[in-house]
Structure 1
Amino acid sequence: MGAIQRPTPAMGPYHVEIRSESFYLNRGDATPDLVAQPSRHEVVVPAADAPRILAALDQVTAHPQWRRWPRPAEGEQPDTSWTRAPGGQGPVADPHWTVTADGDRLHLRGPWVVYHETHRNLLGTELCYRDVPELREAIKKSPAGSASR
């Protein structure tokens, strides 16, 4: 069970639910004309969402418990075996983030499992706290992220 945070205006349609070792990042109003889920580990959102996602990550790192969450040991490699499909079939997620811009679209691929519930227009994923700094840097390095600075 987690604590749903009140979204800031900068987060737009995104909201965060804080948990013990991870958090949920969700996007409301996730209609098929706005977002796509090419694979279990990839999502495509409007490039204009880059600053909104960064604002959501800021909310996570500003949480009073941020410093208490587990951190990986120096040199520890991420374990993404949990990202396999039910039954252990299919590939695992990439252990590192790839964020690329394609015109007005932003592709985010990394160590997560994405769910796009088209009947509810909800896009959601669970992220480990350990992945926040790398995801933030990958977004900032993308053309969409660098334009938002």
Structure 2
Amino acid sequence: MGAIQQPTRAMGPYAVEIRSESFYLTRTEAEVCTAPNRHEAVVPASDLPYLAAAFRQVSSHKAWRLREWADGDPSDTSWALPLDGEGEAPAASWEVSRDGEKLSIRGPWIVFAELGRGLLSTELCYLNLTDLDEALKALDSEAAAH
């Protein structure tokens, strides 16, 4: 059970639910998104500032600041295996890329797509947030430089 946070205007279509060692990130109005597999999401590239704002909300929450999760191993992605044991665990590192107006994010998370309901949600371990945030910032900086 988690604590659903009040989204800020800067978060656009994203909302956050805080948990003890992870958080859920949900994008509404997700008809413009895809989920090619359980560890990848494709969202509009214009979502970069919204994601940054959502991550700021997470890192400002007391669950993050207490860092009770900080002794974990970010390379252990076994928690993301399918319940039936079929399939692979995701890579421990993030792969982010931009193709025109689309942003592809692949890494140590689980992506749930209910595109018919306009929802795309993910679960991220706090251990993996800083690396994802840095990868997205680097991609944004690279795009701004061109």
What's the TM-score, normalizing by structure 2?
0.91
CA distance in 1 between counterparts of 2:113 and 2:142 reads 23
**CA offsets per residue over residues 48-88 of structure 1, 9 Å max, x none?**
00110111000001113322131136xx4521112222211
Report the aligned-residue RMSD: 1.6
Alpha carbons 1:47, 1:104 under 8 Å: kept: yes
> Which runs of no fewer than 5 residues in structure 2 stay unpaired?
none
Count residues in correspondence.
143
Aligned to 2:22: 22
> Which runs of no fewer than 5 residues in structure 1 stay unpaired?
none
Aligned to 2:56: 58
Task: Write out aligned runs for 1:63-142 (5 A).
Answer: 63-69=61-67, 70-72=69-71, 76=73, 78-142=75-139
How many Å apart are 1:143 and its aligned residue? Answer: 3.9
What's the TM-score, normalizing by structure 1?
0.89
CA distance in 2 between counterparts of 1:40 and 1:51 reads 23
Moved over 6 A (4+): none
- Tell which deviates more after alignment, 113-122 or 80-89: 80-89
How many Å apart are 1:110 and its aligned residue? Answer: 0.5
- Tell which deviates more after alignment, 40-49 or 137-146: 137-146
Report % sequence identity: 50
